[in-house]
Amino acid sequence: MDGGDESRSVAAGTVYIKGESVSHGQTDLAKATDYLRGLEDALSFYANRIDPDNASKRRRIAVRISPGSLITEVIELAVTNPYISVPLTAYTTTAAVKIAKNDVSDKTSGDIAKASINAMRSVIEIAKHMGSLMKTKTLRSDQARAIDINNIVLTNSQGEEMTVTKKDLEHYRATSPSQFQKFISLVDKNSSMYINDGPFEPDTSNESGTVISYANRRIFDKSDNADKEAVLFPELEHGETYELEGELTKGNDRTNTLGFSYGNRILKAYPIGSNGVKGLKDMLFGYVRIKATVERISTQKGSYAPLKKPTLRVVEITNIDEEDETNQTTFL
């Protein structure tokens, strides 16, 4: 990872993620792990199609990760003995090593990685054009038209046309709808992924190549997770203080938390002050007005991830008595 080492291997491709999910150089560890495993799984899938002689062997990816917005440079995709577990850091980072003596032609692990990245990019572009991944489905005559032996024109539901190679169409038709599910773990409402077939260029814009954004991530994730991405109460911004009206539905002395019913949802609220929940027993199950600071970032277990549901740091509570103009206010 030494940026000043001119002898370091040239990347076969780059996956660049930019947005809140990797803001300040920090990210959710579980999602980052899924992303890297998903990248390895996806590239291995296409590598096995490109290099079938080694399809029975396990493939491991060698990458170089840079700070800032998450930058993953793919160095190579090496084949290993499937019965031997080798740490990722043990792999060579040179792309000039032949992957096997009986390889097709003279392709290196770096060549296979670049070809796999380009196959993946083509499949993603076709899926975005057609609106889905459709393994085992047959394209209708009005959707696919051959213009020569190696090229096909695909027409989507909007009547838009895209020319693809026969080989890329075969990769697309072989790809499972769940193939990219882990790979896109870090793509959310405020984060996008950019995939290129070369090294990261720090002095130029890398927001080019193949893009997966929140707007089209549903194409690549058919799980329930894609439906859970909606952010609750986006108007309540992180770090801002608001006055909100609702009902205190519960209090927990042990965790010093309140349940605050707001907009048909229960939000977790933390009373700030020495008395905590114990001093608010009389206000439970009543209609109140609170003054609270919104938190939308989780820092638990060393992670740094945006929250879909905001939490509240309550600094003031007013008990609203609809039958009496005299209201009780507690300053925490």
pLDDT at res. 67: 62
Percentage of residues of the chain with pLDDT beyond 90 = 27
pLDDT at res. 74: 87
- In tens, the pLDDT along 75-90 reads 877 776 544 443 333 3
pLDDT at res. 3: 42
- Band (pLDDT 50/70/90 cuts) for residue 246 is confident
Reported pTM: 0.61
Structure tokens at 38: 């998903």
Higher pLDDT, 92 or 218: 218
Higher pLDDT, 252 or 153: 153
- The answer, yes or no, to whether residue 278 has pLDDT greater than 90, is no
Q: Give the residue-averaged pLDDT of 293-322.
A: 77
* Domains of the chain from N-terminus onward: 13-228 (no CATH), 241-331 (2.40.50)
- In tens, the pLDDT along 157-209 reads 889 999 999 999 999 999 998 899 999 999 988 889 999 888 877 666 566 78
- In tens, the pLDDT along 19-76 reads 887 776 677 788 888 999 999 999 999 999 998 888 888 888 777 777 667 888 888 7
